[in-house]
Amino acid sequence: MADLTIPTLILYASDDPLFSPAIIPDLKNVCAANPKIKLVLTDYGGHVGYYNGSAGQRQAGDSDPWWAWNRALDWVEKVGG
């Protein structure tokens, strides 16, 4: 990832069951060292779990059921995609 030269968005959940949480410090460091990478790290989300039903929206205090899609679209708009 250190060699990426195009703008890249990474949405990553700390509770992703496919990867050990031990990778998070390295992920943060690599992303911080490359200005082309935007890391959005969340506490929860699982592996592909950024859809949120009404109970989860109330618990998170966020009424957006399509949180990940909307963060990606916001990012594309910001970088001029």
Write the pLDDT tens digit of every residue in 9-43.
Answer: 999 989 899 999 999 999 999 999 999 999 999 88
Q: Which domain holds residue 37?
A: 8-79
Q: What is the mean pLDDT of the chain?
A: 88
Instruction: For residue 33, tell me if it sits in a domain.
Output: yes
Q: Tell me the whole-structure pTM to 2 decimals.
A: 0.81
Instruction: For residue 2, tell me if it sits in a domain.
Output: no
Region 37-59: what's the mean pLDDT? 80
Round to whole Å and give the CA distance between 41 and 24: 9
What sections of 1-81 are H helices per DSSP? 24-33, 54-60, 67-79
Instruction: For residue 1, tell me if it sits in a domain.
Output: no
Residue 51: φ, ψ to 5°: -85, 140
Residue 40: φ, ψ to 5°: -115, 110
Instruction: For residue 12, tell me if it sits in a domain.
Output: yes
What sections of 16-63 are H helices per DSSP? 24-33, 54-60
Round to whole Å and give the CA distance between 43 and 33: 22
